A and B are shown apart, each in its own frame.
Chain A
Amino acid sequence: MKVRAADFLDYDQAAGVYRENPEQVVRDDVEKHYWLHVVRSIAKDWRLYLMLIPMLVVFLCWRYLPMYELLSCFKVDNSVVPVSGQLFSGFSYFKRLLFAGDSLSTEFWRAMRNTFITSFYGLCFGFPTPIILALFFNEVKSNGARSVYQVLTYLPKFMSTVVMTSLVAMLVKQGAQTTNMGILSQALVKLHFISYETGQAGLLNNPAFFRSLYQISGIWEGAGYDSIVFFSAIIAISPTSYEAAQIDGANKWAQMRYVVLPSILSTIVIMLITRIGSLLNVGYEKVMLLYNTNTYVTADVVSTFANRYGMTGQGQPGLAAAAEMMNNVIGMLLVIGSNTIARKATNTSLY
């Protein structure tokens, strides 16, 4: 194949000669001297790169360094693994947790199951509630009344986990000889939801009630605040859409189904992805503040399991870190997976 000058050069008709294309020259130059270009532009904009440094340092030191330290957690402890097992020793902690079959392994599986159940309940009850709440907010047409409702329902979100759990603990506290049980327990006894003895023993000491208390307090805390994003999607719907639907004879239900829902679908998908992405990040702080040895059966999640074994007493940081890592890797796969599915199915994606 013959190479022609016109493939590389521009023909300058006025002068009747071939010339190099100036843009191509610049492009070639950049390609040839890529690193020179990098250095030059950093030198020119050095202030911009200086500005990045505090952020990079914070994230490197306290977000990425722990990830590196995660690896060092798997350094083999000679007392745990015999020399003959050294080949797979890096996985010894995982093997121990998953397959050992002793009490520790059972406890880990229990924590894993609780994590899934807790987050699944959170998805079932905690996710739809803000959407419903947003629909209700939309019905309140007077601005004054609506802001009163909003102020009240957002309020619990700004309380710390400690305050919130303290309130929960006080409202359902156990009775003693001199004092009565908490006021919420008492109301539940009066309504015959629970027996007097159960209330007297304290609901937080009862594994059967931990999950419902956890979820209800979660909804109490977050539903109002989480509804903001849905509500702002709903008020963005143009009034003409409703009018058109009304002219076509749509009742309230049909309007919900065919006007409101499609309009807020993308918001719902995005929030769902976010939710699924943090599905396995069960709020360990809250669990830690609410649970006690009586309720480990239903309350213990992977993070609290890791906290008990890795950070207190006779620490086994390797084991604890391995447990958490499994949890977090599954969590990461969930966020990537849900994001991909959402992009394929609805053309909405977060990342």
Chain B
Amino acid sequence: MKRKLEITELIFKIISYTLLTIFALCCLYPFVYAVSASISGRQPVEYNEIVLLPKQIQFEAFKYMFKNNMFWTAYSNTLFITLYGTLWSMFTAILGGYALSKKRLLFRKFFNFFLVFTMWFSAGIVPQYLNYLATRRVFNAVGIMDDKWLVVIAMGMAAMNIILLRNAFEGVPSEIEEAAIVDGATEMQVLSNVYLPMSKSTIATVALFFAISRWNGYFWARQMMSNPNEHPLQVFLRLQLERFTDPEQMTGWNEVYASDSAIYALIVCSIIPILIIYPFIQKYFAKGVNVGGVKE
């Protein structure tokens, strides 16, 4: 009996480790390949001699990218959108989530429903597009000509994130709030000195959710931004990919690196910031997912 137990467990363990290792390597491989291909010479890339490690190392593709002014413009646009977008979303979500977490708020059920309904039903991308066009007209009329502000203010709000914050604020014991009010704290002071420090990890998680979605945002930026000087990195990357994979445009290619290397270099540049902060933020995400129960 005892022996049989050990065998099934051992088999299961071996299967788990094998499949997990394979899957983990599959997850990592494309990135390693991208790095290798971006710094390899032209001939190995074009004839697929690279499997894992780079060959005939060159850095011309990166140099070409760094010399391109549009690349830096796109990079700074993305930083701009990520920074201000996250700040604006967090501002809205923290205040909204805080108010919703209060039992004494009248029509609380209605406000919650107002939020949750947007997760069930969305108007679709066409009315949304017409809406953004109208918003842009309004913004232009009041003198905001830069479409980056349109992306920052009008896009990227997610009901789920507000609910995460609301649930975290609800978890703060009300005695602490009462004590603060007895000590003469105003509503704003209660929020900033009691609630924010007590739900730090959820706030970090939600801020990261917002920041990542801002950094990665593509579709609406591409739809709404006509001026290439306003394009964020993702749009720039996609446009470059379309250019470099078009055989007609690539007929006269005579660089020391392959056109593919240029794309890989761009991909590497766009993921480096995420890769750098990823190990530090990874633990927060696991937490954020766990508190995701939606209740009214």
Contacts and interface: CB of A to CB of B under 8 A. Distances in A.
Interface of A: 38, 41-42, 45, 47-49, 51-52, 54-56, 58-59, 61-67, 69-70, 73, 133, 135-137, 139-140, 148-156, 158-163, 166-167, 169-171, 173, 176, 178-183, 186, 220, 223-225, 228-229, 232, 246, 249, 251-253, 270, 277, 281, 284-285, 288-289, 303, 306-307, 310-311, 317, 320-321, 324-325, 327-329, 331-332, 335-336, 350-351
Contact of B127 (A47, A69, A151): A69
B98 interface: yes
Interface size class of B (residues with CB under 8 A): 35 or more
A60 B109 CA distance: 17
A54 B91 contact: yes
B255 interface: no
A158 to B, nearest CB: 5
A224 B20 CA distance: 10
Nearest to B46: A179
The B interface, classified by DSSP as helix, strand, loop or mixed, is helix
A210 to B, nearest CB: 17
Contacts of A160: 215-218, 234, 270
27 contacts: A48-B99, A48-B102, A48-B105, A52-B96, A52-B100, A56-B114, A59-B115, A62-B157, A66-B124, A67-B127, A69-B127, A133-B23, A154-B285, A155-B28, A163-B271, A166-B241, A166-B263, A169-B245, A178-B46, A225-B285, A232-B290, A252-B9, A270-B293, A284-B125, A307-B126, A311-B129, A335-B120
A66 B127 contact: yes
Nearest to A223: B23
Interface stretch (B11-19, B58-66, B140-148, B196-204): B11-19
Interface in B4-52: 4-5, 8-9, 11-13, 15-17, 19-21, 23-28, 30-31, 33-34, 46-48, 50-51
Interface in B130-144: 130-132, 134-135
A159 B124 contact: no
Nearest 10 pairs between A and B by C-beta? A55-B96, A324-B124, A160-B216, A310-B126, A66-B123, A139-B16, A51-B95, A152-B24, A66-B127, A136-B16
Interface in B81-108: 91-93, 95-96, 98-100, 102, 104-106
